[in-house]
A and B are shown apart, each in its own frame.
Chain A
């Protein structure tokens, strides 16, 4: 038999959880309904929480007339090429830092990590002047390279921590068998850490996808990542909430899918391997 106080405690507990869910989910619900509302319902007080009249006008306007689709495409090009570049460089680096003899390994790892922690604005002026001087403003390659400064350290750290977890005998016995270092990486290490490579790649993709400061400063009209499209639409006289909501929502879908795929590895990734999760 459960006592009455226990039942009250249970009810309070579930009420608390329900409030938490409401607080964190309502904004997303609001975004979704805004993207399907007609203008009369958007600019209506009290706010319309259960819109009856739905439209796809916001999606057509936002994605096509207001360059939403261009933004999503550009973000996709930049994020995937940055991910490829970062993974190609970080995998051998992590292999060296985890298994090969490197003098000053720890100071190197600390140096690499510190590059990731610095405030991006401190690098904004020099990058702007640098890309401007070689005519690379408003190009894909400028953003792809700039993002590497922050994503390479992240990927190297995460991959190093995963490779260090492999039993050292795997590497040493292959070495005794006379395999070369490059072949050990290709035929032994890579197959063993495939899932970890995928995790590091997904994180890198999400970071590039979400980035705003450099996207804003280093692009003009030729390259327009979706994070730059959104604020550019807020400035005008008539603010099309519905259309911006539609672009925002489409821009969120890839992140949400990748986050759900990463679920069990999120905390480890975001704490640079400090908390195993």
Chain B
């Protein structure tokens, strides 16, 4: 029994810190979400409003649109990053001169600050002086006039997706590459003896054996892209209009620009519950598919 106690002594400092810094805020924000606290109106009488904040949230069209937009964003970036990442990983899985340099360079985009990536692309996407318009309008002649990458409501959301794909395709690539490298050669040798070639080798040996890496890569990217905030803040600030407002950004606006702390706390709770369900669901799917 004394032994058991001392094991918890090692664990306690870290666990208590995590619990204090998560449970306390969670309980406090639950309390906030049931009152009418607004930072900008100090004379407002604080009172208990029951589920009012949550009911307003469900009726808040702008919030629902932001949520749907977030899911569209996740679907677009994760699918594209997976397809491009797989192609790149297959290309990098063979030996060639300079291979290790290419792999090294690919680690940089997803490890640097998203804010830096945001500024970098902000200058590249600039409508008047940016190199992207130079490429699209003058070199490839895909568009007759300059594209307002971050100011055109039909294009801005696409631009954010584009930058996210630039930043995280290398991440997908490197996980899939690590998966490819761990596949032994024996199954291939056996299949080649049986007369399998090219695509059928890929379809029947590579893909099934790569499944664990694929699942982990997609799981991590779905969970991470749900948090999208930095790029939106830097590139479009949710605009033009509300065309790039994602869930995290909308909560930021409500809580920290309009100072409706209680309402934002309720929105945070809804996001928390959605992401908890999403995470549990995904982890279970990954576990079940991984076992098969």
Contacts and interface: CB of A to CB of B under 8 A. Distances in A.
Interface in B94-125: 96, 98, 102, 104-109, 111-116, 118-124
A156 B124 CA distance: 39
A267 B174 contact: yes
Interface string A204-242: 001001101100110000000001001100100000010
A94 B7 CA distance: 11
Given A122-B275, A231-B233, A231-B234, A28 B7 contact: no
B260 to A, nearest CB: 10
A197 interface: no
A123 B129 contact: no
Contact of B175 (A14, A44, A275): A275
A212 to B, nearest CB: 5
A146 B22 CA distance: 10
Contacts of A119: 226-227, 247-248, 271-272, 275
Interface in B147-179: 166, 170-171, 174-175, 178-179
B201 interface: no
How large, as a class, is the contact surface on chain A? 35 or more
A25 B105 CA distance: 8
Contact of B279 (A43, A96, A114): A114
Given A102-B8, A275-B178, A270 B220 contact: yes
A139 interface: no
A124 B129 contact: no
Given A125-B264, A149-B21, A252-B113, A89 B107 contact: no
Nearest to A155: B14
Given A17-B102, A266-B111, A275-B216, A248 B11 contact: no
B88 interface: yes
B130 A47 contact: yes
B213 interface: yes
A24 B120 CA distance: 12
Given A126-B25, A251-B113, A13 B96 contact: yes
Given A231-B233, A275-B213, A212 B114 contact: yes
A146 B122 CA distance: 29
B36 interface: no
Given A130-B28, A217-B252, A252-B112, 20 more contacts: A13-B96, A14-B96, A17-B98, A24-B170, A27-B120, A44-B129, A92-B14, A96-B10, A120-B227, A122-B272, A124-B251, A128-B256, A152-B14, A217-B256, A227-B113, A248-B120, A255-B113, A256-B112, A263-B104, A274-B212
Interface of A: 13-14, 16-17, 20-21, 23-28, 30-31, 34, 42-47, 49, 88-90, 92-93, 95-97, 100-103, 108, 112, 114-115, 117-130, 145-146, 148-149, 152-153, 156, 181, 185, 206, 209-210, 212-213, 216-217, 227, 230-231, 234, 241, 244-245, 248, 251-252, 255-256, 259-260, 263, 266-267, 270-271, 274-277
10 smallest CB-CB distances across A and B, nearest first, come from: A126-B25, A100-B7, A93-B14, A96-B10, A210-B113, A126-B29, A92-B10, A121-B248, A89-B14, A122-B272
